[in-house]
Chains A and B, each alone.
Chain A
Amino acid sequence: MILGAALAGLALIAAVLSFAWTPHDITQLAIADRLQPPSAAHPFGTDHFGRDILSMVMLGARVSIAVALVAVGIGAGVGVPLGLLAAAHRGGWLDDLVMRGNDLIFAFPSLVIAILITAVFGPSALNAIIAIGIFNIPVFARVTRGGALPIWTLDYIRAAEVSGKGTALISLQHILPNIANLLIVQGTIQFSLGILAEAALSYVGLGAQPPTPSWGRMLAEAQTMVTLAPHVAIIPGLCIVLTVLGLNLLGDGLRDALDPRLKVAR
């Protein structure tokens, strides 16, 4: 968990820091210094325009994290209430409506539709966020409903009903805290997938537009030079891998830390 927090924190710090400071100005091209291997002046080397890769990675973290975070926010913000609603009216028409709507979205391959959306509305980071976010909704709705259904059958829900609480209050006070562990884990997974999806969209040129760097686009631009200067591809790739890994570890850790039953055991 500490390792996960450290890795995720590093990516976040890099992103935040990039607003104020980067080692080099990335709009400044220096063709003479292109494709330099890592050195003291350029710790991660330079790319084919002679731009500092460390600075690019820091700026890229900003886009990648923002896209993934907002996309998870959209997914959880819409999906979780839908899932709770479906579970509260399990077996009823509302449940059917929500779940069949989910199936409808699930029926389309997500990345293809994301490409369609960005192709129609124009490639930009914002459209990438929306496209990725929409496909997070059914994931969260399904996980929420699946987690909530067995809890609805428990006696403490009966006790809450006997205490006169309605479905909304029970969902909020009893169901949601008890499926939080599921949602946190799902959230970190979706966050990782979001970073990957953004990378994929940027890779095909439908994400953040030049000159704004993102990890995916850096990979895309580096692919032709892999044999020539491998660090240009390896470094953004490594950033994606480590951030995703860090988030997954963090999610697992959070899940355990938030459970009062496990607190005493340790």
Chain B
Amino acid sequence: MIDLRDLSVTIRGTQVLRDVDLRLHPGSITGLVGESGSGKSMTALAIMGLLPHRAQIGGQVMLDGQNLLTMSEPALCKIRGRRIGMIFQEPMTALNPLMTIGDQVAEVLRIHHGMDRTAALARARERLDRVGLPDPRFPLTLYPHELSGGQRQRVAIALAIAERPDLLIADEPTTALDVTTQAQILDLLAGLVREEGMALLLITHDLAVVAGLADRVAVMKAGEIVEEGPTETLFRTRSHPYTHQLFAASRHAPSRHAPATGSPLLRIRDAVREYRLPGGDRLRAVDGVSLTIGRGESVGLVGESGCGKSTLTRAILGLDPLQGGTIALDGRQVMAGRRMPRDLRARMQVVFQDPFGSFDPRWRVARLVAEPFHLTDRPAGWRDRVGAALSEVGLHPDDADRYIHEFSGGQRQRIAIARALIIRPDLIVLDEAVSALDVRVRAQVLDLLAGLRRSHGLSYLFISHDLSVVRGITDRVLVMQKGRIVEDGAAEQVIDTPSAPYTRRLVAAMPRIPTDWVA
């Protein structure tokens, strides 16, 4: 059993963890929930003894009566991987791309037991079978690039449990995965805990994930655990105000006005886009898609990675040409590159997912926000327009003189919205625009978007892999699978009574908080 007692960590004078008490029992799952920067990952690193060197640590991390914090580095090395395993968020970078999966799993065994390669590979085989990568289909000689994201995360889990550790720490293990894959990985983790009797510390920002999985939940805020208890009790009572806020934000849906059924704004007919694959085959990423977005309408486009939604988005934005079909904005044809007239281009803007990659780090905010003026010739009072746009998204006009790195993720997403608004477009494409945000920030940005839509009569195309996000902000949802639209209907209808088999799978895989806990 692992027992954290009064764990405090200070880095460069900032206290990042304060008196954290947590008990992790064998065979049970503890969810550690909080927003980014709340100290969740720092707790995991403290348990592993992987804190930065300049960190000052107080309290105890007890493993079977031994305090890990006072142990020497060589002694800790024996414990890491052997008694405590860890899996990370990003399956793409957690594995060595130049080693076969068998060798990577076997390596752990060889380090800790000095096993010879054949014996270690045999154990690796057994562990990979256990995580759902059975023999004939997944030989040990595969390389990570030959596997999908979910399969790689399974290999990472096999690595972490190779030694049958007492504690497995999973830091946002499914955040980078599709919903259906997420459900499978969570099932796998739950099964491992029950069968092998380990303790699992599941770190996540997603309340719905812990609701369905964890035995106990700890809620963390600013380095402190503000509330801890059995999952159901905690969710039902929500005694701490912060828990209450998180809970409300995760279920937040902005008030919507009645969908304005205006004339069609964007009309896509039989769009086709193919890619040539390295083998000479062709991949039809977008396969005969037709859709319409009305003026003032908010439409969601949902699908898992690789379904073609990004390719379709690029075509809509006039960045890539189509090989068949047409896209028309207000009756005028959208074309790729320079052939598209500037005044038509000016009627569409986009907000991207990643609040960190969306801005040139060397430009000041004023210049960033004013960039779309390239399409309309910069008006004389452009600085005032930038200030006004910043005010509209809830920032201060003076923020225009700052650089982008001075802003938080949520503020950056507001700046991205200001940039999209500045030339008063008719349609804004929101490409996973809130997926990277914490729940409370996400709720604020969704409110902002809903308000702007009312005041400016905007249309949204809201692209996401997550049905639950789309539900709150869209009137109509399109579900895309393998380049085709498989379902099209009102948001509630699609989520509550899905008709296409694929939509049903998506909805079933959606982690959710049981409805009777909410009351």
Contact = CB atoms under 8 A, between A and B. Distances in A.
Q: Do A and B associate with each other?
A: yes
Contact of A178 (B352, B362, B406): B362
B360 A155 contact: no
A160 interface: yes
Contact of B350 (A162, A169, A178, A259): A162
Interface size class of B (residues with CB under 8 A): 20 to 34
B358 A162 contact: no
A158 B350 CA distance: 9
Nearest to B350: A162
Nearest to A264: B406
A177 interface: yes
A161 interface: yes
B338 A159 contact: no
B394 to A, nearest CB: 20
B352 to A, nearest CB: 4
A174 B357 CA distance: 13
Interface string B343-366: 001101110111001111110000
B317 A162 contact: yes
A164 B405 contact: no
A161 B314 CA distance: 10
Contacts of B353: 155
A154 B317 CA distance: 16
Interface in A152-209: 154-156, 158-166, 169, 174, 177-178
Given A156-B358, A174-B360, A163 B403 contact: no
B362 A156 contact: no
Nearest to B352: A155
Given A155-B352, A261-B405, A160 B361 contact: no
Contact of A177 (B359, B362, B405, B419): B362
B375 interface: yes
Contacts of A166: 338
A211 B507 CA distance: 85
Contact of B403 (A159, A161, A164, A260): A260
B19 to A, nearest CB: 30
B352 A159 contact: yes
Interface size class of A (residues with CB under 8 A): 20 to 34
A178 B338 CA distance: 24
B319 interface: yes
B269 interface: no
A164 B342 contact: yes
A144 to B, nearest CB: 16
A258 to B, nearest CB: 9
Contacts of A164: 340, 342, 345-346, 374-375
B405 A163 contact: no
B371 A163 contact: yes
A159 B348 CA distance: 11
Interface string A114-153: 0000000000000000000000000000000000000000
A159 B419 contact: yes
Contacts of B374: 163-165, 169
A162 B403 contact: no
A163 B419 CA distance: 10
A163 B358 contact: no
Contact of A158 (B338, B352, B372): B352
A162 B406 contact: no
Contacts of B349: 162
A264 B349 CA distance: 31
A165 B345 CA distance: 11
A264 B360 contact: no
A170 B146 CA distance: 35
Nearest to B403: A260
A158 B354 CA distance: 12
B358 A261 contact: no
17 contacts: A155-B354, A156-B358, A159-B350, A162-B345, A162-B372, A163-B345, A164-B374, A164-B375, A166-B338, A177-B360, A178-B361, A178-B362, A260-B362, A260-B405, A261-B405, A264-B405, A264-B406
Interface of A: 154-156, 158-166, 169, 174, 177-178, 259-261, 264
